[in-house]
Amino acid sequence: MSKTIAILQSAYVPWKGYFDLINMVDEFIIFDDAQFTKGDWRNRNLIKTSQGVQWLTIPVAKEKLEQRIRDTRVSDGKWARKHWSTVSQTYARAENFGEYRELLEQLYADCSDLQFLSEINYLFLKKITEILGIETKLRWSSEFQLVEGRTERLLDLCRQCGASRYLSGPAAQSYFDMELARQANIEVAWMDYCGYPEYPQLHGTFEHGVTILDLLFNTGKEAPRFMKSFGNKTC
């Protein structure tokens, strides 16, 4: 049986498309050996408020020029309490907020003592995949030997995992060398994030590109119905 993997950097409570990608593969590699980039999704994401979309950002310390994501530390331990306060106030009137309130409040409390961004992102990732019923195995890039070259590294991770198929986000098409994939006998597929259905959402004009928490609080167990990888399943 063929095996499919995906490889992405971690993100803070990412949007629904990130979880769809995870659900469509057999193994998902968190590539936190990559360089941390400021102003990216690694330590922040969007919620939808009555004043429009708003960033939730985990404050981090940039200690050296080519700092890896997994070496990036939180610079202010009060972030978790502040984020939960904002999230709970913003979504208090969402139909299914009560269903996840206690779980998310505890999750933020558990994160408040963690020092590294990757640990925080993983804790949210693990818990939300469990909520959605996603059974994909999560692995760290640090478990593997990493070779040089952007395409070469991805293909070698496929080889080390015993995968014959690689599912990637569409942005990688700008640099990925398909000839190298052909030579390695790895099938490459590109994730399509277009055509997501809208769901009942608070605060005016619909926004797709917000954290998965927005979907969970507004739709509850029906959340998978508004994602691409589940069909009509509910969680």
Tell me whether residue 232 is in a domain.
Answer: no
Q: What total of structural domains would you count in the chain?
A: 1
Find the domain containing 83 and state its range: 4-226
Nearest to 28 by CA among 3, 6, 4, 2: 6
**The predicted structure's pLDDT at residue 79:** 98
Residues making up the chain, counted from first to last: 235
Interval 46-81: pLDDT, tens: 999 999 999 999 999 988 878 999 999 999 999 999
Task: Say yes or no to pLDDT of 45 above 80.
Answer: yes
Tell me whether residue 234 is in a domain.
Answer: no
Tell me whether residue 92 is in a domain.
Answer: yes
Banded pLDDT at 6 (limits 50, 70, 90): very high
Tell me whether residue 235 is in a domain.
Answer: no
**The predicted structure's pLDDT at residue 231:** 79
Query: What is the average pLDDT score of the chain?
Result: 96
Q: Going by C-beta distance under 8 Å and a sequence separation of 6 or more, which residues neighbour residue 195?
A: 228
Comparing 55-69, 80-94, 119-133, which segment has the lowest mean pLDDT? 55-69
- For the segment 188-195, the average pLDDT, to the nearest whole number, is 95
Nearest to 141 by CA among 161, 171, 120: 161
Tell me whether residue 231 is in a domain.
Answer: no
- For the segment 165-180, the average pLDDT, to the nearest whole number, is 95
pTM (2 d.p.): 0.95
Determine if residue 71 is left, alpha or beta; phi over 0 gives left, psi from -120 to 50 gives alpha, anything else beta.
alpha
Task: Say yes or no to pLDDT of 234 above 80.
Answer: no
Banded pLDDT at 25 (limits 50, 70, 90): very high
Tell me whether residue 36 is in a domain.
Answer: yes
Calculate the dihedral angle through the C-alpha atoms of 118, 120, 126, 128, rounding to the nearest 10 degrees: -130
Answer with the residue of higher pLDDT: 68 or 234.
68
Give CA angle at 28 (27, 34), nearest 5°: 145
Task: Say yes or no to pLDDT of 120 above 80.
Answer: yes
**The predicted structure's pLDDT at residue 65:** 78
**The predicted structure's pLDDT at residue 80:** 98
Tell me whether residue 174 is in a domain.
Answer: yes
Banded pLDDT at 34 (limits 50, 70, 90): very high
- For the segment 22-50, the average pLDDT, to the nearest whole number, is 96
